[in-house]
Structure 1
Amino acid sequence: MIERTGIITFKGGPLTLIGPEVKVGEVAPDFTVTANDLSPVTMGDVIGKVLIIAAVPSLDTPVCDMETRRFNNKAAALGDDVKVLTISMDLPFAQARWCGAAGIEAVQTLSDHAHASFGENWGVLIKELRLLSRAVFVVGKNGKVEYVQYLKEITEEPDYDAALAVAKKLAG
C-alpha cells in the first residue's frame, strides 16, 4: 500500500497517510463502510446523487463535531439531489449515539472501523493513529470526483463554502 509522508500534521507533528491521493477528475474509489444499523454501505450504494463526503478523525472531538453539525445545517438547503456522508473510524454505535444527541438528520454517518477500506482507497488513513485524516470530497452523480480538500493540519476546519458551492453547482 502507498504511504505518503509530509502531507498532514496533528498539532504540528507530522503523520503518514496510507493510500493514494484522490484527484479531481478521477472516478471515485470504491469502499465498504458500516452504517449505524450495521449494514454495509459501498460507493455503489450512494452513487447517483451529488455526494459531499467528509472524512473526520472522530465525531467525539470538537472540530469534527463542529464540522458535522455545520454540514448538517447546510445540507437541508441543498435539496434531495445532494447527500452528505461523514465517515470516521468511530464505531457505528457511537456514531448513532452522537447523531441522536446532536440532532443530526441531514448527514449520514458511516464507520470505516471494520476494514479501513475508505481510508485506504481515498488516501486518508493515518498510519500512526488508525484514524481518518480530515478531508472533504465532492463526487458528481456520474461518480467522478469534482472537489478535493485534504487538510494539512487535521485540527483545522475545511473550506465549507468551496465544497458546498461545487455540490450546489453539480446538483443544478
Structure 2
Amino acid sequence: MTIERSEVATFKGSPLTLIGPEIKVGDKAPDFTVNQSLLQEATLADYTGKIKLISVVPSLDTGVCDAQTQRFNSEAAGLGDNVIILTISADLPFAQARWCGATGVDRVITLSDYKSNSFGKAYGVLIKEFQLDMRSIFVIDANDTVQYVEYVSEMTEHPNYEAAIAAVKALL
C-alpha cells in the first residue's frame, strides 16, 4: 500500500502530496537504490560505518538547490573522514556530473533518484505532482539509525543548515 501525505509541503504556497512514510529520529534508516552513474547503482549499505548527511534537493539546476549543495560541500571539509555527504535529486546522473564540474563541487557525492524513485518513496519525499524529491535533510549515524530529520515544508525555502551540521558534529 502506498502512503500519501498531503498538506505537509507546498510549492509557492500550493499544496503538494508526498509519497512514502514520514521518517522520524530513532528509526532505522530505510534502504534505497539510487544511481551514481547511468549504469552504477548505490544503496545505503555502500556507506555503512560512516555518518551520513543526506541532503535532498528537487533539482541542482535551481537557485536554492544549488546553494544548498554548495553549502554542504564547503562544510564537508571540516567534518572529517568519518562523515559522508550525499546529495540526492531526481536529476539524471550526467546532469549532476555536469553541474558538479561547473560549480567545483567535489566533496559531496551526488546520487540520482531518477530511475525508480526508491529514495523518495522510502524516505517520504517523493512529490506526487512533480516526480521530484522534496527538499529535506537526514542525518544517519554509523549504525544506520536516523539522528536528525528536516522535511522543509515549502519547496523554495532553505533547510536549517546549522541544525543539520550540529547533528553531524554531535555524532563525532
Is the shorter-chain TM-score for this pair beyond 0.5, marking a shared fold?
yes
Does structure 2 conserve the Cα–Cα contact (< 8 Å) formed by 1:23 and 1:145?
A: yes
Q: CA deviation at 1:37?
A: 6.2
Counterpart in the other structure of 2:163: 162
In structure 2, the CA distance between the partners of 1:37 and 1:75, relative to structure 1 (3 Å rule), is farther
Matches within 5 A, 1:18-167: 18-36=19-37, 38-167=39-168
Does structure 2 conserve the Cα–Cα contact (< 8 Å) formed by 1:56 and 1:132?
A: yes
- Partners of 1:107 and 1:154 lie apart in 2 by 21
- Partners of 2:171 and 2:40 lie apart in 1 by 28
Counterpart in the other structure of 1:6: 7
Q: State the one-letter code of the partner of 2:167.
A: V
Tell me how large the CA RMSD over aligned residues is.
Answer: 0.8
Does structure 2 conserve the Cα–Cα contact (< 8 Å) formed by 1:36 and 1:109?
A: no
Q: CA deviation at 1:129?
A: 0.3
Cα deviation, 1:19-42, whole Å, max 9, x if unaligned, reads 000000000000000003631100
- For residue 169 of structure 2, give the secondary structure of its aligned residue in structure 1: helix
Q: Identity of aligned pairs, percent?
A: 58
Q: State the one-letter code of the partner of 2:8.
A: I
- Partners of 2:75 and 2:35 lie apart in 1 by 24
- Partners of 2:38 and 2:135 lie apart in 1 by 24
**Number of residue equivalences:** 171
- Partners of 2:112 and 2:157 lie apart in 1 by 21
Gaps of 5+ in 2: none
